[in-house]
């Protein structure tokens, strides 16, 4: 989260990533990110790339702050009875 804040410099990002790597390393659940590659310099590079992807995900519209209430007024009325869609709309004089 701190990495995704505006105004974070490249040096601060590198420092935060180093701290994150050291924090995560002993954790059981993120071993796939830290321990799969045994050569440390390479492992850190892959970890950095994964963190960049996570930051990119976080900034995507899918994770933008959510509205508490979703406006469903544009949704069609739900029905269990089948009906024929009028789309595209039939031109005048032409039967569907």
Partner 1 sequence: MNPEYSFNMFPHPLIRHGIQEAQYARDEIGADGVMGYRLAPPCRFMDDYVFFRLASDPSLTQEQIVSELAGLLAEKPENQKQVKEAINTLERFWSSHKVEDLETVDKLFKGVLPEEKSKNLLYVSNGVTFLT
Rounded CA separation 47/53 (Å): 10
Q: How many Cβ atoms sit within 10 Å of the Cβ of residue 67?
A: 7
Nearest distance, CB of residue 91 and partner 1, angstroms = 33
The two tokens of residue 22 are 């050291």
Residues near partner 1 (CB under 8 A) are 1-2, 5, 20, 23-24, 27-30, 50, 53-54, 57-58, 60, 62-63, 65-66, 68-70, 72, 78, 80
CA distances from 3 to 7, 11, 60 (A): 10, 11, 14
Name the one residue in this structure whose structure tokens are 């509205």.
67
Closer by beta carbon to partner 1, 5 or else 84: 5
Closer by beta carbon to partner 1, 18 or else 58: 58
Nearest distance, CB of residue 13 and partner 1, angstroms = 15
Nearest distance, CB of residue 1 and partner 1, angstroms = 5
């Amino acid at each position: 989260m701190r990495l995704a804040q505006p105004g974070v410099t490249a040096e601060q990002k590198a420092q935060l990533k180093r701290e994150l790597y050291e924090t995560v390393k002993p954790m059981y659940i993120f071993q796939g990110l830290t321990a799969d590659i045994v050569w440390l310099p390479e492992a850190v590079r892959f970890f950095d790339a994964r963190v960049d992807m996570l930051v990119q995900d976080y900034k995507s519209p899918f994770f933008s702050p959510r509205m508490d209430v979703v406006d469903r007024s544009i949704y069609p009325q739900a029905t269990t009875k089948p009906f024929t869609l009028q789309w595209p709309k039939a031109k005048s004089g032409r039967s569907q």
